[in-house]
Amino acid sequence: QNIWTFFAKESSQNALVAVLHHFVQAGQHKRANAQQRVYALHAAGLYFLLLEIPGSVANQLFHQVMFDRCLHTLTKSWPQEPDLVRKRKKMHTRSSQTRARRNRKKGKPRRNGNMEEILEEEEEEEDCENVYFSTEDILQVRNSIFLLLKNFLRLLSKFSLKEKPECMRNCLQVFVEMTRFEPAVYELEFSAATNINKAKYIPELAYHGLRLLCSPLHGAEDKILRSVFHRILNVILMVESGVGSRHTVLAITSAVISARNQAIKFISSIVDELKEVVFPVLRILLQHICAKVPDKADYRTYAAQALVNLLNKLPCAEFADFIAWLYKFSLNTKIAYRVFALDVALALLDMPEKSLDSSLSLDHQKFLKHKFLVQVMVFGRCSDKAPVVRSKALSSLAHCLEMKAGTTLESI
């Protein structure tokens, strides 16, 4: 008997979705215990399983709110560290109180909204207390997340999100968050032909999900690639994901560096596979790395290395075009931009010089040479009006002198 006929006769379709929604919602609450979280993950998995059945959309089983709620179970069912939650709440509360004091000093009336926010935060903080999970509980939730994610990927291979842009955005957000879920012991391999049944780690499945979203089934490849690269930028820069232009930097730990390296490798695999299609999108990503890198020495160094690794994926013509853009970037009025351009120049000097392409004009060929990096981009900044940039340029020049590469020494 057809399942949709059965649901129509019994009028139980909406009731089933309502029951599943109840379990999902209960498991996402901050005070939910391990069992409730596992039930939520299983309920979400059952909903995705129903969506796999042909005719689910025609029979109105798909609801965007329910779909998104089940999707976010992947991240919201994972217990957060109480200390981290409390710390963030306190910091946010202090900032709210500071704003309130400033407003009073300026003669502005006190808003009840600020007090309401503080009270809500205190209630949420109380919610986070007295919820403890054993190692066995954590493992059970983790394995349930892994199973749900694997089932969801099976759905994505046949269920199109082309006409569901909001669902697509949420999928991208969740997948990118999951890439940092846990460190992988072995080197992850990225390919469209990856067998997810052999996967052992959640980030491995998350990257496979991102790759699935780039397929024509879910929309225009170019547009989706832009969204994927935009989302994954924060992983490369080692900053927290979030809304807005300002992001908090993450502590540079082995797990964060591992996630960054995996992100770079994932993008490299896409470039190797799609070639010309992805070159314009990769260029935009490289420009965003330059513009959004945190203004801290260690983060700049890691970002410059990532940029150079990805830049080397471009052919000579595109490579030269980007170096030309980078030179203009190095003349920007923002000091941080000029400093980072020097970091990139140093990272490029650590790499072998690009082979000259005779098809390029002489004006473009110069951008492939270390001579341009040393004599123009590094030495040219030694007389910068900003002391920070001058200091950086001089130390960079000293570093060039220590290099053993013949082309670099010859340029000096």
> SS3 sequence, 212-256?
HHCCHHHCCHHHHHHHHHHHHHHHHHCECCCCCCCCCECCCCHHH
Residue 142, pLDDT above cutoff 60: yes
Residue 104, pLDDT above cutoff 60: no
In this predicted structure, what is the pLDDT of residue 90? 45
Residue 253, pLDDT above cutoff 70: yes
Band of the pLDDT at 246, cuts 50, 70, 90? low
**CA contacts within 13 A on the Cβ side of 330:** 26
For residue 249, report the phi and psi dihedrals to the nearest 5 degrees: -75, 150
Asked if 323 contacts 367 with a C-beta cutoff of 8 angstroms, the reply is: yes
CA angle 342, 317, 393 (to 5 degrees): 10
Residue 192, pLDDT above cutoff 90: no
**CA contacts within 13 A on the Cβ side of 353:** 20
Tokens coding 68:
């998104």
Mean predicted confidence (pLDDT) in 311-328: 92
In this predicted structure, what is the pLDDT of residue 240? 86
Asked if 107 contacts 10 with a C-beta cutoff of 8 angstroms, the reply is: no
Residue 169, classed as helix, strand or coil, is helix
- pLDDT of 44-85, one tens digit each? 999 999 888 887 766 778 889 999 999 999 999 998 765 334
Q: What does the DSSP 8-state code read for residue 352?
A: P
In this predicted structure, what is the pLDDT of residue 402? 78
In this predicted structure, what is the pLDDT of residue 85? 42
Tokens coding 389:
């940039």
Most confident of the following: 110-124, 130-144, 327-341? 327-341
Q: Which of 175, 153, 344, 343 has its CA nearest to residue 262?
A: 175
For residue 138, report the phi and psi dihedrals to the nearest 5 degrees: -60, -45
The terminus-to-terminus CA distance of the chain in angstroms comes to 80
pTM, two decimal places:
0.81
Mean predicted confidence (pLDDT) in 355-378: 84
Q: Which of 65, 52, 73, 54 has its CA nearest to residue 155?
A: 52
Q: How far apart are CA 364 and CA 368, in angstroms?
A: 7
Mean predicted confidence (pLDDT) in 105-129: 51
Residue 285, pLDDT above cutoff 90: yes
